[in-house]
Amino acid sequence: MITQEYPFRIDFVSSESRTARAALAGGKPCQGLYWQPASERPRIAIIATHYNVDFSERYLARSFTERGIGFLGWNTRYRANEDLFMLADAITDISVGVRWLREVAGVETIVILGNSGGGSLMAVYQAEATEPSLGGPRARYDDVERLLPADLYISLNAHLGRPEVLTAWMDPSIADEGDPLSLIPELDPFEGENHPPYSAEFISRYRAAQVARNHRITAWAQQELARLQAAGTLDRIFPVFRCWADLRFMDPAIDPSDRPANFCYRGDPAKANRTPSIGRTSSLRTWLDMWSLETSNCKGASHLAKLAVPALVIQSTGDAGVFPSDARSIFDAIAMDDRELQLVPGAHYFEDNPAYREQVADMMAAWIRARV
C-alpha cells in the first residue's frame, strides 16, 4: 500500500446553527472544510462563503495553506439551495464559522474573503458585526449572540450585490415572464437592428428596461405573496428566464477590460441566454430578500460603507462577468482609509493560468501579513 504525505491537513467542520438544527438524516446546516498547514496551527485564517455555491474546496484553499494561512471554506444552509435563501439565517450561519475559527481553531486574525457572488454576503456579515442595522437579522441575532467581526476584508472578483448583478445580466426584451420565447424586438440585444458596438441611446434604454423588469417582478412577487398568504399558503417557487444578456458580454467597448469579446461564463451569450442563469428559480420571499432592487438588503454599497477594518479590492482584468467599474464601485463604497485597489491579470477564477492564481495568493498573503 502506497501512502502519500501532504504538507497540509483538511478537517471537516459541521455545526448546528441557532436557527437550524440537524436534519432528520443527520446532516448539519453549517458545513465546510478547514485547510491548514500540517506542521503548524496558523494564527491567521481566511473564511469564504457564497450565497449558493459550495466553497468548501475553494480554488485558493491550498495556496493559502502553502503560505502558512488557514482557510475555512464555509457553507451556510443555502449551499445548492438558493431558491429558498434568507439573509438573516445566512448571516447567523456565517457567524458559526467565524466563531469556530476564533474559539476552536484558535485563530488570532480572521480575514473575510468576499469572492465572486459572495462579496456582498460577506460585506453584510462584517457590517452587521460592526454596526447592526437590518431589522430582520437584528431581531434574530443581535440581542442573543453577538456577531464576531473579522479583522481584515478582501474583495476578490466580487459582484457589487445580488440585485445589481442579476439586473445587469437580465434580458429586458422578454415580453412575458411566463414565456421564455416572448420578445420585445426593439430591446433584443442579439438580433435585428441592435448589435455591437451598441449606441449610447440603446445602452441607456436597455439599462432602464432592465431595472424596470426587476421592479415588475418585485411588484408581482409582493402581490402574489399577499394573495397566497391570505389563502393560508406561505410561498411558492417561480422561474426567471433569460439572464445572460449583459451588454458588456457582447460589446467589449462597454467597461473595457482584457476579457474575451462576445463571451460570458457559459460561453456564447446568445446561446447561454436560452439556458438557466443565476436567479433561475426563486421563492417569492427569497426574491424580495435577495434579488429585488427595491426590497433586498443583499446590495453591497451600504454595507461596504460600514467596514471599519483594512480592505483590499482585487479585480482580474480578464474576468468575463465582473468588470472594472464593479471593482471601482466596491472600492469607492468602502469608507475605511486603509483600502487598496489592485487590478491583476486572469479570468474570474484564474482558471486560464495557474501562475495568475499564485500571484494573487502572494499579493493577498503579503497584504495580510503587513497588517498583522
pLDDT of amino acid 142: 47
The answer to whether residue 52 sits within a structural domain is yes
Whether 121 and 234 share a structural domain: no
The answer to whether residue 268 sits within a structural domain is yes
Domain count, the chain: 2
Whether 15 and 156 share a structural domain: yes
Percent with pLDDT over 90 in the chain: 88
pLDDT bucket at 143, cuts 50 / 70 / 90 = very low
**Residue 46: beta bridge partners?**
71, 111
Whether 280 and 362 share a structural domain: no
Q: What is the pTM of this model?
A: 0.94
The answer to whether residue 274 sits within a structural domain is yes
The answer to whether residue 3 sits within a structural domain is no
pLDDT of amino acid 5: 59
Of 243, 261, 291, the one marking the end of a domain is: 291
Of 276, 291, 306, the one marking the end of a domain is: 291
The whole-angstrom separation of Cα 97 and Cα 93 is 7
| Among the listed residues 102, 133, 60, the one whose alpha carbon sits nearest the alpha carbon of residue 297 | 133
Whether 204 and 320 share a structural domain: no
Whether 282 and 308 share a structural domain: no
Of 274, 291, 308, the one marking the end of a domain is: 291
Whether 143 and 177 share a structural domain: no
User: Above 80 in pLDDT, residue 42?
Assistant: yes
Whether 276 and 319 share a structural domain: no
pLDDT of amino acid 144: 43
Whether 172 and 25 share a structural domain: no
Whether 276 and 314 share a structural domain: no
The whole-angstrom separation of Cα 316 and Cα 214 is 28
Cβ atoms of 348 and 315 closer than 8 Å: no
User: Above 50 in pLDDT, residue 90?
Assistant: yes
Whether 37 and 157 share a structural domain: yes
All three cell numbers of 84: 429558498
* Cα dihedral: 185, 191, 197, 200 (round 10): 0
The answer to whether residue 1 sits within a structural domain is no
Looking at every residue in the chain, the average pLDDT score rounds to 94
The DSSP 8-state label assigned to residue 198 in this structure reads P
CATH of the domain at 34: 3.40.50.1820
The answer to whether residue 202 sits within a structural domain is yes
Whether 117 and 16 share a structural domain: yes
pLDDT tens digits, 100-139 = 999 999 999 999 999 999 999 999 999 999 988 876 544 4
Residues 170-203 as b/e (b if ≥16 CB within 10 A, e otherwise) read bbbbbeebeeeeebeeebbbeeeebeeebeeebb
pLDDT tens digits, 193-233 = 898 999 999 999 999 999 999 999 999 999 999 999 999 99
Cβ atoms of 34 and 70 closer than 8 Å: yes
The answer to whether residue 77 sits within a structural domain is yes
The answer to whether residue 115 sits within a structural domain is yes
| Among the listed residues 327, 294, 330, 24, the one whose alpha carbon sits nearest the alpha carbon of residue 166 | 294
User: Above 70 in pLDDT, residue 140?
Assistant: no
Average pLDDT over residues 249-266: 96
Whether 182 and 66 share a structural domain: no
Average pLDDT over residues 52-74: 95
Domain residue limits at 94: 8-161+298-369
Residue that the C-alpha cell 426593439 belongs to? 186
